[in-house]
Structure 1
Amino acid sequence: MTNNNPYNLVPLQPTGRNEEDNVNTYSPDDMITIYEQQFLTQVPEDKLTEFLPALKAFYDIDDNTLDISAVIFDAIADFCIIYNHKVKVGDYQILGNLVEEQIEVDEDNADDENSDSQAYTIDCMRTFFINDVELPYHFNVFIQGEGYSTLTERDTLLEKIYWFVNAGFDEHLLGNPEDVVSLESINEELASLGIREMDLTTIYELVDYVEDSIIDDDMVDALNKLIDDAE
């Protein structure tokens, strides 16, 4: 940390100047870095009003450059910023083989096109990153017809966060107190990984992002191929 760079911003090399020759321009990757730092840099409350002008002065940019950075950032679908945490979805792994599950079909619905009695389950894992820290997320996929659902394990930090949001009041009330996950215990584990603490809003946004990201088109194609081969 120096007087010229009190926020430890990453020095970047501009690619040139804009048409008016009054501010710098940067490569798309560097513009994303600038945009990330706008949200990820920890700034004391009494310095908040000074931070954005300092960031723009350090890179010699203007509001328009930041706006362009935001457009580029939003166009990249595989990662996002959630309340001062950089969250990124990584690769998936199919950990086991398809397991056939026979589903009983009600006679009244036997002729229904959606009453497929054949179903499968399979163990999978998706990797996520929070501020570049790798976090695994194990889950079981239940597949029936064109639909699927997932059931998450309860071992890794991300899995505990999921169940903290989704387990409901009864489990927290009736479960073994030593097994109950709290916001405090989540933040203790985050701190042990060098990740800043999260509030409830961040936790809920994180779980929404994870649920939206665990199965993508590539994984669907891989699962469909396994089902086709099994049939």
Structure 2
Amino acid sequence: MTHNNPYNLLPLKPIGRNETNTANTYSPQDMLKIYEQQFLTEVPEDKLTEFLPMLKGFYDIDDHTLDICAVIFDAVGDACIIYNHKVQIGDYQIIGELVKEELANEDYSDSEGEEQQPAQAYTLECKRIFFINDVQMPYQFNLFIQGDGYSTLTRKDSLLEKIYWFVNDSFDEHLLDDSEDSESLESINEQLASLGVREMDLTTIHELVNFIEDSLIDDEMADALNELIDAAE
């Protein structure tokens, strides 16, 4: 850490000047790095107002350049920044065979009383890889599919799975004690630190779980699942 670069920003070489010759321009990949550094750099709270002008001064860029960086970042693919943590979606894996589920013998009738046949239900073990600040983290779950709807039941083996259950069990009274079976924010952050991932507060963890739930099944995986179901039927 140096006096002129107190946050260890990456030195990047500009490729030219903007149209008015008032600020540097950078390659798209370097602009992406500048944008990430803006949100992933640890900055003390009392220095927050100083950081952005310092970053723009270090690279000699303007607000317009940062706006372009944001557009490039969104266009790169499945990545987002959640409270100073970069989260990316990795590959999916279908584990094992599609299993037909036996449905309970219940009365399925429409509004006119005519009996309706419920859609066949299936379960399937799946895994999705996520990256947090470039650290690979697996997330395995059992997928329940019926008709156009689905639900997931997450395992509790990997750290990402434990984070999910920490959020979803946090309102259960029996998990608000200090029992050995329940994770705490402190224990989760200890495990994150062991992987080289910066600690998270409750807000960050809740946003992370929301992102995971929204990102488990993408178009490519949905197509693969539909092919499996069509073959089973």
> What's the TM-score bracket when you normalise by the shorter of the two chains?
over 0.9
Residues 1:163 and 2:165 are matched in the alignment: yes
Shift of 1:3: 2.5
- What pairs up with 1:1-231 in 2 under 5 angstroms? 1-109=1-109, 111=114, 115-116=118-119, 118-167=120-169, 168-173=171-176, 177-231=179-233
* Cα distance between partner residues in 2 of 1:127 and 1:154: 15
Equivalenced residues, count: 229
SS in 1 for 2:186: helix
Deviation string, structure 1 residues 105-137 (Cα, Å, up to 9, x no partner): 522427576822x21101000000111110000
* Cα distance between partner residues in 2 of 1:114 and 1:172: 40
* Cα distance between partner residues in 2 of 1:77 and 1:98: 29
Q: Residue 124 and residue 10 in structure 1: after superposition, are their counterparts in 2 closer, same or farther (change >3 A)?
A: same
Deviation string, structure 1 residues 120-156 (Cα, Å, up to 9, x no partner): 1010000001111100000010011121111100111
Q: Which moved more, 1:209-218 or 1:45-54?
A: 45-54
* Cα distance between partner residues in 1 of 2:36 and 2:72: 11
- TM-score, normalised via structure 1 length: 0.92
Q: Residue 20 and residue 105 in structure 1: after superposition, are their counterparts in 2 closer, same or farther (change >3 A)?
A: farther
Please give the root-mean-square deviation of Cα atoms over the aligned residues, in Å: 1.9
SS in 2 for 1:219: helix
Q: Which amino acid aligns with 2:186?
A: E
Q: Residue 63 and residue 139 in structure 1: after superposition, are their counterparts in 2 closer, same or farther (change >3 A)?
A: same
SS in 2 for 1:121: strand
Counterpart contact for 1:128–1:137, Cα < 8 Å: yes
* Cα distance between partner residues in 1 of 2:189 and 2:230: 43
Counterpart contact for 1:114–1:145, Cα < 8 Å: no
Q: Residue 133 and residue 112 in structure 1: after superposition, are their counterparts in 2 closer, same or farther (change >3 A)?
A: farther
The list of structure 1 runs, each at least 4 consecutive aligned residues, that deviate by more than 4 angstroms after superposition, is: 110-114
Shift of 1:170: 3.3
Identical-pair percentage:
68
